[in-house]
Amino acid sequence: MNIRKAENNDLKTIVSLSPQAVFDGTLGEARPSHSKIDSMVNPLLEKGGFYLVAIDEEKIVGWLLLGTTKDQFTDEAIGFIYEIYILKDYRGQGFSKELMKAAIMHFRQEGYAEVRLSAKADNPAVRIYENVGFKTRTVSMSLNLK
């Protein structure tokens, strides 16, 4: 297993699989188009965000998109993990944990005081986030009106 910053030639693979990543991460609620993915990701990359990739036997088996944002109340800059995805055949082998640790190390080295992420409440990945030290900070609720 190798974790490294994505190179330009890695982006084609990542972008081609991103609609499935969002579908899985939203527990089947959303499958955005490739153009929607581009409109969400490109501004993050333009502002210095980047992907970390997990490599196994020369193949990308997962990735993590990280960047920064500001706290909505204090305007303090914070690290943010926007997306993490592991191909189905490689789940449960520690790739997510290693990607998370690499992202946290990056933010620590850059001097950030905090790292945040968002996840669907029922997403099994929440356990992974908790295992690397994340705690529930806020709760987002919705009411379906349809």
Give first-to-last CA distance, the chain, whole Å: 45
> Within 10 Å of residue 64's Cβ, how many Cβ atoms?
26
* Regions in the chain scoring below 70 on pLDDT: none
Tokens of residue 143, six digits: 């009411």
CATH code for position 99: 3.40.630.30
What predicted TM-score, i.e. pTM, was given to this entire model?
0.91
Helices (H), the chain: 8-25, 34-46, 95-109, 125-131
| Domain assignment of residue 142, yes or no | no
Length of the chain counted residue by residue: 146
The pLDDT tens digits for 88-104 are: 999 999 999 999 999 99
Domain that holds residue 91: 2-131
Q: What is the pLDDT of residue 64?
A: 98
Q: What is the pLDDT of residue 34?
A: 86
What is the total count of domains within the chain? 1
Taking each helix axis from N to C end, the angle separating 8-25 and 34-46, rounded to the nearest 10 degrees, works out to 120
Q: What is the pLDDT of residue 26?
A: 85
